[in-house]
Each structure stands twice: as C-alpha cells, then as structure tokens.
Amino acid sequence: MPAIPAWLIEPLWVQFSELLPERSAFDPGHPLGVHRRRLNDRIVFDRLIQVLRFGCSYQAIADATCSATTIRNRRDEWIKLGVFAQFKHIVLEFYDRIVGLVLEEISIDGCITKAPGGGEVAGRSPVDRGKQGMKRSLMVDGYGIPLGRVLAGANRHDSPLLASTLDKLDDLGPLPDVITVNLDAGYDSQNTRDELTSAQVMRASACCGSRS
C-alpha cells in the first residue's frame, strides 16, 4: 500500500527531482568511482515519504533494496544541498496559491520528541529519565498547515523559542496587516508580550490570543 496516492506523489517527485543536481550513476565514495551503482533517487525519496507518513524509523522502513544507512546518507546529502529548504518553499507557495494559507491566525507550541542519536541541539529530556531528546517549536496556520519549526534541546522552555519561531514568517512573503498568535498558558509572561510588540513593528501588527 503506497504512503500517499500516486496522483499526489508523482507531481511531488517531479518537482523534487528538478532540484537535484546531476550525479554519476556510480557511488562517488569509491576511489575509482565504479565500485557500486548509486541507488536511484526515486527509491530513497519514496522511503523518506513513508517515514514521514507512517512515523516509523529508517530501520523499520529499510529492506533489501534500500538500507537505512543509504536513506540517512541521501537525506543528509540533500539537506546540505538545501534541497529540502527549496522544496518546502515551493510547496507552501503552491498551496497558498491553490488553497490559501490562513496567516491571519497562527498557532505556536512546543513538543518534546526522542533523540536517541543525540545531535548538536539535543538535550536531556525532563520527561524521559534524562535521555537525549529534542524540543520542537512548531508554527502552523489557521488550518494547521506547518509553516516552520525551530529545534532545541528537550530541556528548553517553549517561550524563549518564540522569537526564532516567529522569524520563520519572513520566508512566507507578504503577510496580513493583523496576525493573531495563539499561545498556551506556558507563554503567558511579560517577555512574550514584549516579543509580540517587537514583532508588531517588524511585521505589521500582531496580537496574542491565549488558550488553556
């Protein structure tokens, strides 16, 4: 069973493949460049879509045709090339043109996820016996469409990440004159109000709507 329907995955792949540079048919890691044929990018792309869709690990989605190491290596290669950043911008632009982003009202909140492999921004998780974890500060539009996120150690509070999360709005082009920012009680502080006031100067006006 495919992760998403063919009528959706095909145009996504066509657009994504246009962002990829020309590569040799063989693995460039070998000194002679002819040791092993490079796995087709489409196969790795489909595996990454499955990981995102089903929330499984790379190891769980790997098989004899595509190893977890290959998925991770190709992912890291595409990150360094900035392919995912370009792709996100294109997808949001097309969604806004066809459906429409609801930027008059956005919501921001943080969540903690596991980070068993560590990483530069991972930290001790306060809800997982001090194991490595990640705090994700996520911003969505009025319909819940992800607009951007900021990563930090799991032991970071949500509110200090507000400013850098709001900065992701700068990637979206023209913004509404008034933006309502929905935050939970964890952000209720003078620092939050000062940040929203500062953002009001930079991005038209913004106001904070609290929710429990």
Q: What domain range is 21 assigned to?
A: 6-85
| Of 85, 118, 142, the domain-final residue | 85
Is 51 part of a structural domain of the chain?
yes
- Give CA–CA dist 42/48, Å, rounded: 10
Taking all residues of the chain, what is their mean pLDDT, rounded to a whole number? 85
Closest to 101 (Cα-Cα) out of 140, 141, 148:
141
Closest to 163 (Cα-Cα) out of 102, 112, 123, 206:
206
| Of 56, 85, 114, the domain-final residue | 85
- The reported pLDDT for the residue numbered 24 is 63
Q: pLDDT for 87-101, tens place per residue?
A: 999 999 999 999 999
Q: pLDDT for 136-145, tens place per residue?
A: 999 999 999 9
Q: pLDDT for 52-88, tens place per residue?
A: 998 888 999 999 999 999 999 999 999 999 999 999 9
Q: Is there a contact between 150 and 174 (Cβ–Cβ < 8 Å)? A: no
| Residues 68, 123 within the same domain | no
Contacts of 62 (CB under 8 A, 6+ apart): 47, 68, 70, 71
| Residues 19, 71 within the same domain | yes
102: pLDDT confidence band, cut at 50, 70 and 90? very high
